[in-house]
Amino acid sequence: MSSVTHSLRFKLGQPIEKVFPLFSAEGEKRWVPGWEYENVMGSTELCEDYVFVTKHHDHASTDAIWLVKRFDPESYFVQFYKIEPEDKVGVITVQCFQRDTCLTEVEVTYHYTGLCEKGNTFVKDFTASRYKEYIGEWKSLLIHYFQSKR
């Protein structure tokens, strides 16, 4: 098994109370094109141990099972397990920091561990430059979302 971890930060000119809720299964529907998930919990309110399923999204080559590992809305922190049973396991962490009343810094960390040759190949190819491009897209999509709400 091999693993890789990447972490980047970006800033958004929005209050933290508007930014942080967007990093949930339901919140991502607002700003991520094509984001769909299967709600297996019956509620859309995020909490620890919340489970949902996605199909071929967010580096997934197969269906993925997502499980909220840690959720601390008071400190604007959420962490997910993303499990692709025959491929790889990811731990995705989002931490938001209030830098000003209308300025939020978002730190996103992805840690992947390969479970097989295919997963290990993904890990090898998930380079820092690919990650920078990926998180840059997050920032662009979020900026577009907030601009469209004006």
For the chain (150 residues), the mean pLDDT of every run of 10, in chain order, is: 96 98 96 92 93 79 90 98 94 97 97 96 96 97 93
Name the nearest CA neighbour of 16 among 80, 86, 101.
Answer: 101
pLDDT tens, position by position, 53-72? 998 766 666 789 999 999 99
Task: Identify the helix (H) or strand (E) that includes residue 108.
Answer: strand 103-114
Domain limits at 111?
Answer: 3-148
Please list the alpha-helical segments (H only) found in the chain: 16-19, 117-125, 128-148
| SS3 assignment, position 56 | coil
Where residue 34 sits, what CATH number does that domain have?
3.30.530.20
Structural domain count of the chain? 1
